[in-house]
Amino acid sequence: MYGFSLWITGGNTSAAAKNHLLDVGVDKAGGTSYTAIISNIVCGQSGAAVDGGIRFYFPFFITAGSTIAVRIQGSNGTAGTVRVASTFYGRPNRPEAIRTGCFSETIGTITNSNGVSFTPGNTAAEGSWVSLGTTVKAMWWWQLGVQIDNGTTTSLMYHIDLAYGGVTNKHMIIENLPLYLPGTAERTCFAGLLDGQNYCEVPEGATLYVRGSCSGTAVTGFNAVAIGVGG
């Protein structure tokens, strides 16, 4: 397998904060003992399927015959019912033309099923950059996991950026990732599955930053991690 997508839905409950972290595990034989290949994907309050839910894509190489599984943890005492669907992409006609990874890093300290807190700017203004942490290895494919630790949200549009670099010289990795809250039932929808801007060569020891903007007045509780793939 040369890559897979994830579609996460049904993780919200009206008037409740539902923070979720998702792990992807692989067992090369048997399906009884899994090793996590991607950990702590922030994906809380995922909207219903009709809303679009939350989507990711990872160009990760997994050997034939492997069993793949997911698990989710959350901070809310009522776990809820989260649904995860996936599409797996097999060997292409020209595998030498397809780049795939063999390891991942999740950048961002996890606290109570939350990533790193940040505050989007209001009325389309950009908020301040917030450091997520630093890479251990060089990586080239990126996804953003974003959620809102808040039991009261409103229908607004947000755009989230991911960059790396220093305090004054940042290089954009993902720009204006759209995150939509449809209605007031605490449902979050965004597509981490973007286009070529997911690809960005980032060296080891690089600091990653996140920021956001809001179409109106942003709610509190935003938190995020970045997931990088390398190898």
Q: Mean pLDDT throughout 57-78? A: 93
pLDDT given for residue 194 in this prediction: 62
pLDDT digits (tens, 9 = 90+) for 25-51: 999 988 889 999 999 999 999 998 888
Q: For the residues of 123-160, what is the DSSP string, one character each? A: TT-----EEEEE-SS-EEEEEEEEEE--S---S-EEEE
Percent of the chain whose pLDDT exceeds 90: 81
State if pTM tops 0.75. yes
Alpha carbon separation from 55 to 58, 114, 117, 178 (Å, rounded): 10, 18, 21, 12
Residues 133/109, Cβ–Cβ less than 8 Å:
yes
Q: Domain limits at 67? A: 3-230
Choice among 17-21, 83-87, 95-99, 175-179 with the minimum mean pLDDT: 95-99
Structural domains in the chain (count)? 1
